Amino acid sequence: MKPMITVHQLSKSFRLPQPAPEGPFRGLRTLMSRQYTEKEAVRGVSFSIASGEFVGYIGPNGAGKSTTIKMLSGILHPTAGEVQIDGLNPHRDRRRVARRLGVLFGQRTQLWWDLPVRDSYDILAAMYGIETDRKDARITELADLLQLGEFMDTPVRKLSLGQRMRADLAAALLHDPDVLFLDEPTIGLDVVAKRSIREYLHSINVELGKTVLLTTHDMDDIEQLCSRVIVINRGTIGFDGTIDELRRRIGLPTLIRVTYRQTPVLSSTGLASYDDSSLRVTEIDGHTVTAECNREAISAMDALRLLEQYGEIEDVHMEEPHFEDVIHNLY
């Protein structure tokens, strides 16, 4: 599939005034200083995203996510490297790229706070040069998809956070862009609103075929929505692949909890015989034994066969490592 977004050796450095020595008016003296330090926020980042992909762009605070997104959308000039959105350069072709891009910042709205939602769409449509007929059809379509009907005539400041996010999502989609940059679209939402936003995002990708780049600290968003994840840390890409590949790479163990019909013939001295890298018993509680299984080294079936030697198994429970824990290990 042809690439929709191409990023090649992208870098961004910020020049910061060097802090003045301790003393009175330190802040002011720092501002006046002619000495600078360079902060390399993004360092030689390269990736390519195909049309129709849904990609998570994640990393700890200060990793360089927003700086990358700002360069991708033409807001910031890179210090080095190149970006192409469907073959266009966001800095040289800013207007044309803006028509191809929809951007949602969960932390701040692009709607007019005191105006009814509908009026914000009118203003945005005028800014994008969308004709009245097309605009009306588009708003009807989006109101239907995102269920905006009940608050279309309500001022933005009176919306709940979940409603506001849906209204903002419609604003990002109004000009029918091919690519969406979503920055924390579920931030602050309760579980019900989160679920509905995730469903909308899924259908925007699957039904409308939009290419989506999602930045979030919510690992459930990533796990439920993204086919691929790119991890940035201290300005460089640490991982680019599927969620399964990421799990395998981090190699956190699967937990197997086995309940035997009788007390298993497994004493604390017996633990040692399991204690290799593939299967390690971590707890014995009455009839129940918990073991950590390294799925790279041993299959779940073989692990169970091993555990079967110690009694007749009544029940088995398996727990994959939480994605949040996987990511914690990566950061």
Ligand X SMILES: Nc1ncnc2c1ncn2[C@@H]1O[C@H](COP(=O)(O)OP(=O)(O)OP(=O)(O)O)[C@@H](O)[C@H]1O
Number of neighbouring beta carbons within 10 Å of residue 213: 26
Q: Does 104 bind ligand X (CB under 6 A)?
A: no
Q: Does 219 bind ligand X (CB under 6 A)?
A: no
CB nearer to ligand X: give 104 or 142. 104
Task: Give the residue, chosen from 5, 45, 47, 64, that forms a contact with ligand X under the rule CB under 6 A.
Answer: 64
CB nearer to ligand X: give 37 or 263. 37
Single-letter code of the amino acid located at 68: T
Are 263 and 288 a contacting pair, CB within 8 Å?
no
Q: Does 78 bind ligand X (CB under 6 A)?
A: no
CB nearer to ligand X: give 274 or 323. 323
Q: Does 28 bind ligand X (CB under 6 A)?
A: no
Question: Residue 78: CB partners within 8 Å, gap ≥ 6?
Answer: 10, 11, 12, 42, 71, 91
Task: Give the residue, chosen from 11, 49, 65, 193, that forms a contact with ligand X under the rule CB under 6 A.
Answer: 65
Q: Does 188 bind ligand X (CB under 6 A)?
A: no
Shortest distance (Å) from residue 123 CB to ligand X? 28
Single-letter code of the amino acid located at 211: T
CB nearer to ligand X: give 212 or 279. 212
Q: Does 59 bind ligand X (CB under 6 A)?
A: yes
Are 111 and 120 a contacting pair, CB within 8 Å?
yes
CB nearer to ligand X: give 119 or 220. 220
Are 11 and 83 a contacting pair, CB within 8 Å?
no
Q: Collapsing DSSP states into helix, strand and coil, what is residue 289?
A: strand
Shortest distance (Å) from residue 284 CB to ligand X? 42
Question: Residue 316: CB partners within 8 Å, gap ≥ 6?
Answer: 256, 257, 258, 259, 304
Residues that bind ligand X (CB under 6 A): 14, 16, 39, 41, 59, 61-67
